[in-house]
Amino acid sequence: MSEKFYALLLRLYPAQFRKDYGNEAMRLFRDRLEDERGFFPRLRLWFDLVCDLTVSIPREYLRPASSRAVARTSAVYPGLYVIELEPLRLSALLSGGVVTVFAVGMVYAALISQAQAIGAKKYSGGLAGDGNKPGIHERARMNSDSGAGYGPSASVASSSGEASSNSNSESSAKSANGMIAKGVKLDDAERQRVIAAASIELRKHYVNRDAAALMADALLLHERRGDYDNVNDAVAFAGLVTQQMRDITGDRHLSLDFFEEPVPEQQPRTPAEEIAQYRALMKQKNCTFEKVEILPGNIGYLKMNSFPELAVCEAKAVAAMKTLNHADAVIFDLRDNRGGEPAMVQRMAAYLFDHPEYWYNPRENTTERSWTQSPVRGNLLADKPVYVLTSSQTFSGAEQFCYDLKMLKRATLVGETTAGASHAGVFHRIDDHFGMGIPEVKAINPYSQNDWTGGGVAPDVEVKSFDALDIAQKLAQERLLSGAGTRRH
Amino acid sequence: MPKRKLEPLPSAAFQILLALAGEELHGYAIMRQVEEQTDGKMRLGPGTLYSSVQSLLEAGLIEEREPRSETKSETKNGEDRRRFYRLTFAGRKLAVSEAERLADLLRVARAKKILRGRYV
């Protein structure tokens, strides 16, 4: 009975909508009928349906016809609010007005009343809540091996299936923290302690002594003047101090970070067990080389979801590159790559040059290690066109790969601007919840004053990362057809 | 490429993006997930849900999962097959930026002390 009635109501929707989603809507209704038994749940169900019909029927009629026709092809723009100026009936306009008022009210009310609930529940579960965990691991790892790694432990974690749900670009992690932090308010004493410790750490470790003294004095002065008195929110406080340090030096690798979860006091040396686990995981995950294949047109395609430790995964890397060796162009897919070990980044890059090339690493001084080990024996890829696919989730070491290849004009970046994390500062723990990133060496960046820290690496061809592979494939094919396959040196 | 008009992101659309942040879901599961993540405050009806889904599909923020062969063979006709949706990169990115925007808004609200200790 109920079902028939709802089926009748469904007829109020435009035919196209019924065709596309009628069955699904009916099914949803049946599911709810089944789950919500009893007088009040049923009453609520019908109340929901009445509200739903009032809102969504006019909306569907107001949807532009062209948009309706192409609804099922996801590549087509635009979407939500473009209404064509075709003549409308008065009734449609009226109901449209009512719907608009209602919808605006709902959005507004929802924004205010649910921001808290959304933050607490969902960010911690899906979007960025785990953001600070890899952060800690990553930083801790850096601490224990003097800043040599891009946090392989973190990238392992992400490559084991969380890659898509971890978005810990620094800013988003911070925002999420800001929303889920439970009563993380600072008092005077804590602020004083953090500032005092921060100035000491800066003087002790920052690469430029004079700038360190300037920053330390400035922070202490701010503190004495009471500039932090109203900054009770831990995340905001960390952000403010970070900004103040950067304002003085312009060094975006400096940061004061807040961690909701306590930062372990001392990093034990990596136990053998952990290394064994890492090896086992890498074996199981094929060293995060998700796909190595030759696409139509003899275009090599390598999807790497991290830059794993060279000591563990070198053989896999070599094998992957060997598979691609006879390709006419190569696409590196780093859209899900969360970084890893700089040594692996540099090892992979070596294949793309026929002579040693200066390889900028924000964490190292200029040494012989800053050059790629090119040429690689037997390698045929040094002069082949290279495309790198990026997304906003491309992170840390993966961004180094993008940045350097872009600066060297050795690759075409296709996709989205990357996350903007370099972890170039060495981590120094201040207390359970605060730590600092302080650069201890001055890496020579021959390309630009700022690297990708904060801003990310902008692609050469900006497309949705979802479409990046298609576009890169097309670009590569066009280029190969036009006979410009061989790169000039 | 035309610029997308996603400002502001409708509340229901944002909730759907959040629901799909964890895993791919079908319509009814999305509705339940949204209900759960809003403490029961938002129960998307079929019309609103699929209207939003359609808009999100058009904007490339979510995509429909390719039907799996086993589910195809399980059902006798296509009518009963559930459609699963998942986030695209663009959808995830938008959800993150929307979350950041809300976080900023909340920060202002706190600074103005309009929440009077009700916030966490």
Contact between chains at A77 and B2 (C-beta distance less than 8 A): yes
Pairwise CB contact (< 8 Å): B89 & A393: yes
Q: What is the pLDDT of residue A88?
A: 58
Residue entry with tokens 């275009």 = A299
Per-residue confidence band for A269, with pLDDT thresholds at 50, 70 and 90: low
Measure the CA–CA gap between B4 and B16, rounded to whole angstroms.
18
Task: Give the whole-angstrom CA distance, residue A43 versus residue A90.
Answer: 33
* A75:B50 CB<8 A: no
The structure tokens listed for A270 are 């990596």
How close B38 comes to chain A (CA, Å)? 6
Touching B: A residues 39-78, CB under 8 Å: 44, 48-49, 51-53, 55-57, 59-60, 63, 67, 70-72, 74-78
Of residues A277 and B77, which shows the higher confidence score? A277
Across A264-288, average pLDDT:
79
Confidence (pLDDT) at A65: 60
| A contacts of B119 (beta carbons < 8 Å) | 116
Mutate: best of B26, B62, B75, B92, partner A, most A CBs <10 A:
B92
B29 touches chain A (CB under 8 A): no
Task: Name the one residue in this structure whose structure tokens are 């200790």.
Answer: B117
Residue B40, token pair as written in the block: 């029961």
- Condensed to tens digits (0 to 9), the pLDDT of residues A138-190 reads 443 433 333 334 433 333 333 333 333 333 333 333 333 333 344 478 888 88
* Whole-Å CA distances, A366 to A72, A139, A175, A441, A444: 53, 22, 35, 10, 6
For A294, the enclosing helix (H) or strand (E) is: strand A289-295
Question: What is residue A112's predicted lDDT score, i.e. its pLDDT?
Answer: 58
* Single pTM value for the model: 0.49
| B3 reaches A (C-beta below 8 A) | yes
Tell me if A321 sits within 8 A of A330, measured CB to CB: no
pLDDT digits (tens, 9 = 90+) for A229-260: 888 888 889 999 999 998 888 777 888 988 88
Would the pLDDT of A119 be above 50? Answer: no
Helix (H) or strand (E) holding A107: helix A90-118
Mean pLDDT of chain A: 77
Report which of residues B79 and A231 the model is more confident about. A231
**pLDDT of res. A268:** 56
Nearest to A384 by CA among A346, A353, A344, A348: A353
Residue B50, CB half-sphere, CA atoms under 13 Å: how many? 30
The single residue listed with the structure tokens 């700089």 is A342
Chain B: closest CA distance from residue A257 (Å) = 17
Instruction: Find the DSSP H helices in A228-377.
Output: 234-249, 272-284, 310-324, 342-350
Examine the pLDDT at A130 and tell me if it is beyond 50.
no
Q: Which residues pair with A28 in a beta bridge?
A: none
Looking at chain A from residue 201 to 240, which residues have their Cβ under 8 Å from any Cβ of chain B?
230, 233, 236
Paired tokens of A411: 């690759």
DSSP A307: B
State which residue of chain A sits closest to B19, comparing Cα positions: A122
Query: Could you give the angle at which helices A188-205 and A234-249 cross, rounded to 10 degrees?
Result: 30
Considering only the beta carbons, identify the residue of B18, B57, B79 that sits closest to A126. B18
What are the strands of the beta sheet with A434-438, ordered from one edge?
Answer: A255-258, A434-438, A426-429
B-chain residues within 8 Å CB-CB of A13? Answer: 47
Q: List, in sequence order, the alpha helices (H) in B7-45.
A: 11-22, 27-37
| pLDDT number for residue A429 | 87
Please give the pLDDT value at position A61. Answer: 85
**Start-to-end CA span in chain A (Å):** 76
- A residues 291-330 closer than 8 Å to B (CB): none
Can you tell me which residue has the tokens 């299936």? Answer: A161
